[in-house]
Structure 1
């Protein structure tokens, strides 16, 4: 599994932590070890440019997902075949503000955004109430299990 993390901000990012989180989620979703994923941390201005360009929405956002080979979750018996899952772009400054409002650490927010973004790359969405219930429930479970696995 190729998971590449790059930090183009002044923020302190433990790249290993995000690789481990992504690997955990991909393993749980039965994605092949031959899949490629890129996670990039960028500042608000370039994030706003992406947000306007791709979604025609103003201001920076927290995370954007750019799927490549449109891979979907597999099963234990039939994991997702190899391919390029895609790119995640996270804005730590927006994440920090959201974490402050939610009452938890910025790193926890960015890990949540990592899980959220990977689920989008795997075809999950939250536009409809049923989709939101499924995606957010899965997102919560995966994040809590990952955090628990680090503390055991």
Structure 2
């Protein structure tokens, strides 16, 4: 199982939401072959908070739904430190709760389904998936759908 640290800066998540995020991330990690005891953090924020992060790190002065920061993306001259008993830190997933609510309404599905979608989307980015070009997008979105459907969060 993943070690998941969920930080709700909005105080809007209930126990059902937290349990679903933990469950779907563990399910996705198992499907993707992630090592046991790997770590990930999930932070729930407002639109204004994610807009600041989006502006600072991506140069886009607008709110977005989810942003991921992988811990294993190496810069020049950096090395991965591995060792017996050292858990793999995948990175951080930041989700806008307001954007999740908006998109649930827009796509006409439940808030919990949208929250699960964003958590999986963020995790797949941490694992190296992307959707910059059509081929990568097809691969990533196919994995997302397989995970969401398999977990029972179908549209």
Normalising by the smaller structure, the TM-score range is 0.7 to 0.9
Rounded Cα–Cα distance in structure 2 between residues aligned with 1:127 and 1:24: 25
Structure 1 stretches lacking a partner, 5+ long: 72-80
1:78-131 CA distance string (max 9 Å, x none): xxx941000000011011111111010111111001111100000000010000
SS in 1 for 2:94: strand
What is the aligned partner in structure 1 of residue 97 from structure 2? 92
Structure 2 stretches lacking a partner, 5+ long: 75-85
What is the aligned partner in structure 2 of residue 126 from structure 1? 131
Spell out the pairing of 1:1-152 with structure 2 (5 A cutoff).
1-13=2-14, 14-70=17-73, 82-147=87-152
Rounded Cα–Cα distance in structure 2 between residues aligned with 1:8 and 1:122: 25
Structure 1 vs Structure 2 CA RMSD: 1.7
TM-score normalised by length of structure 1? 0.86
Number of aligned positions between the proteins: 139
CA shift, 1:10, in A, is 3.5
Rounded Cα–Cα distance in structure 2 between residues aligned with 1:61 and 1:49: 10
Hey, which bits of structure 1, 4+ residues long, moved more than 4 A?
A: none
Rounded Cα–Cα distance in structure 1 between residues aligned with 2:6 and 2:13: 13
TM-score normalised by length of structure 2? 0.84
CA shift, 1:4, in A, is 1.0
SS in 2 for 1:39: strand
1:42-81 CA distance string (max 9 Å, x none): 111111100100111122110000000249xxxxxxxxx9
